Structure 1
Amino acid sequence: MTAFATLSSNSRLHLRHDADLRDAPVSPSSKWGDARWFFDNPVPGAPSSASMLSWDLILPDGRNLLDEHHNSLLDWLRRLAWSLFASPGNNAQPLSPGSASTTSTGLRYLASWLVQNSYDKPDQLDPAALASYRDDLAYSLAEDSDGDDLSQAQANLRLRPIIALWQQRGELSAAGIAPMPQIPWGGRGAIEMAREVTARADGYTMPLPDEIAIPVLNRAADFLGQPTDDVLRLQAQCDAINDREPTDHHTGPGTSDVYKKELRGEALKAFIFSRNPQTGKPWHDRLKIVTNERGELIYPAQRFRQLLLAVRDAAAITIQAGTGMRISEICGLPAGIDDHSGLPCCVRVLPSFTGLNEIFLIRTVISKMEDTPREVDWLAGMRPKGASDLPLPVRAIIILDQLLERYRQMLRSDRLLVQFTNLRGLPVRSSSVAQIRSMSLLKGMRDFVEEWVDFTSLPDQSEHPAEDNDLVPYKNTNGRCIRSHQFRKFYANFALSVDPRLLPAVQMHFHHISQAMTEGHYWGTNLLQIEPLSTTQRQHTALLLYELATGKTLVSGRMGDQLQASIEELRTKIGVRGGGEGWRNAISLVFEYDIRLWFVPHGKCLPLVPQAMRCHQLAGTSSWLNKEPNYETREPGVCAGCPSFVIDSKHRIFWEDRFLANMTAFRAAVRAGNGDTFRVIGDRAAQARALLVAIGADIGALEARVDMEAVDGRE
């Protein structure tokens, strides 16, 4: 009897009484009561595991799903599964034997979640329970995923059983199992829900604290300067040895592998690295045989390999942090420099909307999760028209093109990046080079952070923690716990709010990115670059609400005053528990109400009532649809009086500088008898003072600085 024959003859098996089921066949090789159901898969060559449903599962309570304690739960899960294959409801197609494994994945997740949350019957799954299921699924994806994306496919598999419970409600009711009380998630399908879950999962992924992100990005950008120049110079010397012409020396032509290795070793040991202008010493010691922490001997050739890979990985961090590219797109970047422009072949330069600037776009081909490959553009930077400087990500691509050219030629590859498969030294033959894989590049990026970024002096907790002791994992692992999603979100974080602690070149890059974003329309249809911005925007919003609810920040501005007045309501919705629960509640609140902050150096915009936004009122563009600020009319004086305006401690430096500049100028005007003429400057100083008082700034110290400026001015 075939699997299909078994399904056909036992199509009503799920309606039988318990006593008649245990030994009933579900396939030629499996019975109802077996720990595993194996179906015969008619697809030639298909593995048996693809057509298996496993009920052998350790649950959160420590028991097995097969234990007597969970008989009721196991019974209706089996009836649900069988009905999907033998008697699907709502005119759906029956599942094929080859889909048993993926069906099993979803059912096992559902079983674990039910036990974890003290549910055991479908009729208990009301809208509140299903909202928890959605949020818990998003959180588990965020916790477990370390690849390029939080997979919609993973979410889909775990959402299908809930959809199936509603689809099969008639069959389950006929079997005596009370159905779910109403259609799940308002009738939205598994695919649509999977998109929402993965978006939430991205939000639940803890943002990389500034205390970690800033030194990582600064070090990567700095490494592409002097250290990279030295590595390229030393590589050129080694390449010259590898490519040397035969000589007529009496001992031989001098082109043997052994002799070249000897010459390379001498060149490596003789190389003197450039001096660090800050310390006056070489940034790296002369290459020699050393013993590492594990007691292994590291020869000069091996150390040079490590330095070369460090350049590769610093460049990859710079590209991902500077553009928000997924790591798979970085792995797929093409090699080559255009002879005419001197730019990478994958880079285009277009005039900005105003014509005053030049926009840099990196073109890649997207194939992951796509029906057919398609080209997309990634905003990589901007510069004033006529300037010659290059955005950091573009410069990083040029470095990679030069750095890895020899190894691409060995592999005959037209892709920018490669990985080394030999264990020691640099490759000398094609068998030691391969196309780079995403996880290999991620490992390299973590290797760079571990060696070149020092976290030991950091405290255990960041200035704006989403959970207690949030810096400890990074300190304990030397940064190896950083995820691909977090590297990718660097650009979104700093494009939304440029941090003055970044290196000047890095600050300039993100200022240009932010300007290009507001100047208009350089994303095209590339939602992949927009998504991290949207997610990071939500995370910043959630962090503000979380810190307000837990009393970790003070806010000012007219919207800030409203938030302070609603603090008890916020605490009720978010809670004040540690361990990340309050943060997750804040993220959920932001998703539920679609609350979003907009960022400028002088504050944040939280437009709960879009029609009241002053920037739009001044521009004549007020509408309940316009929830994004009007960038033409937005400036500190306008924002400060707007009902949507919020500032917190992150904006203290801006308002301190504004207070000092305006108060110093106003007092000078008063001393000169021009106080009435310059009253507007005094008003600006008073406005800044009021905002600073509200967020707890040291006004006494600031006024002392103004007094000192006045004394210096009179002298």
Structure 2
Amino acid sequence: MNQHPHPLTQSSQSWEDARLSPWSRFGDDEWRLDIRTAGRRADQKRFSWALAMPEHTRIGNSDHVQLVRAAKHFLWSMHYHPPSGRKRSSPASIHHKAMLLRALLEWMACEGHSRFAGIDPASVEQLCKWLRCRPARAGGGKGNISTATITNYLLVIKDLYRQREKLNDAPLVDPLPLETTYEAAGHTRATQGVIPFIPEDVAVAILSEALRWVEEHGDTIVAAEAIRREARAQGLRRCKRQASDHVRAALRLASLAGPSGERLDGAYAVRHAAVHLVEACYILIAGFVGMRPSEILSMKTGAIEHHPIGGTGVNQAYVVSRLFKTVDDLDGRRERWVAPAPVVRAVELLEQLSAPLREASGRDDLFLVKNTQYGQIVPVTHMHIAWRINDFARHVGIPDHDGKPWRFSTHQFRKTFARFIARRDRTQLLGLAEHFKHASVAMTARGYVGNDFDLHGLIDHEARAETAAALDRLLAAKRLGGKMGERIVAGNARFRGRAGEQLRRDYVAFILKETDLRIHACDYGWCVFQQETSRCGGELQPNDAGRAPAVCLSCANMVIEAKHGAYWRDRRRRNAALLPEANPMTAAVLNEAIGQCERVLAQIGDDDGQD
């Protein structure tokens, strides 16, 4: 137990009675979380701490109860008192961390760890081995869990250590003193995996089919569904047993045909077509607007609005929905997206198709489904719509890719939308970033468009100025530390001195004009960021959570100049002061850190203040 607990830990009642949601407190064993993001299943909004003891447990029941209590206390701290610079954990984030902690407690019980305080670097190494043998939940349990998932577990361990002063039970020593969570998990660019773009021929095929269903056959399917419902209601009023006969007679009299030429002459054929039409509408919105799945599934009646464009007198149609990502409000923030004519038509069809379900349920969502098990009318979930998109692709005969059917996911349409826009007009990145509600153009360019498009004149002027100044100094330097610093010094002789001034200016101008290179500052050096060689796991820029002196020194992007000498001298002095009272394991860590400092100071020619 910590010698001096944080004031917040003095009264156990204060955190156990704290509200987690309108229905649950942090001390409860059954949690109902207030998660309102569209598309989540009911089980993704509940969590039970009634954990059964593992079969091969090595701790007692009372120890297990205390571990569960410590896990709840940790999640309370992440919600009400997160680490400095971090946002409070949202209800969805708490649910995610609770799932990770449940597996972590299982491992601790089997390994004989009765307290989080006993977790050290050796324990984390054992945890990583155990995690790598666990089957993945996705894909029917085939294969082991991903390195990204292992990273999430290690982040929980690291956060427990960061919160140690606020908790009664937490790791007392840094569980990852010499490497980042990404490195410990083996999570690199090669192993991380990405959501793929839909291949162009496949994307064109499914969007064309969805467009054909909406524009050419939407009215027919809606009319057939209206006839079916009315005929069934009349049949039930007359004779319940003959209701289906009444439906067939009415549909045959209407003589309507579906998208493949099939006769819509029975209840099953009509319902089947109506279900696929909803899927076609979703695909059109996702592919032509690029909204996130949660944004599409949260659409409600009246989702199309028209607003004038400046003083032109021309009206533009917009889809109105809720934005959940990066928004603190649990209900999301009302936003609007530019909507082309086919999307406006798709929304109109959705309103007509969902009308009976809305009337029966009292809801105003456009994506509703009747739960076959309980007969309830509920919103469509991410999992359900993903399955239905693939079902639509099979039904309309989307061609195979590389000899096998393409496996669609909901987010692929958003990335493919961005890629189509950027490949045809690179000047549209600013508009695309605004349309996507992104915080930066770089997020759009790197995360959605791809690495083959640089940002040219769209890069922030402040970042350009800092990069230019740093490049000028580094190219003129005779001594630099870090791996990138060694490479620069080995090849910058022609840029040094007065003779190299013009050459430096020309080269810096070339770099800024022709590449998206940016140099990022930190207390102990510069990062000439390149994603492919980044050790911190950054994608668009250095990842602050993964950065550390030891990590950066092993990274090919690192440059250290004389101005950073004071940091390395101070780091060497602080570590040396801890050596006399350190145990052998800690001493080895401290000596390694001191050695790093001395190597850097030797590289930059700064040996002042030798201890």
TM-score bracket, shorter-length normalisation: 0.3 to 0.5
Q: Higher Cα Rg: structure 1 or 2? A: 1
Q: What is the TM-score normalised by the length of structure 2?
A: 0.48
Q: What is the TM-score normalised by the length of structure 1?
A: 0.42
Q: Whose relative contact order is higher, 1 or 2, with alpha carbons under 8 Å and at least 6 apart?
A: 2
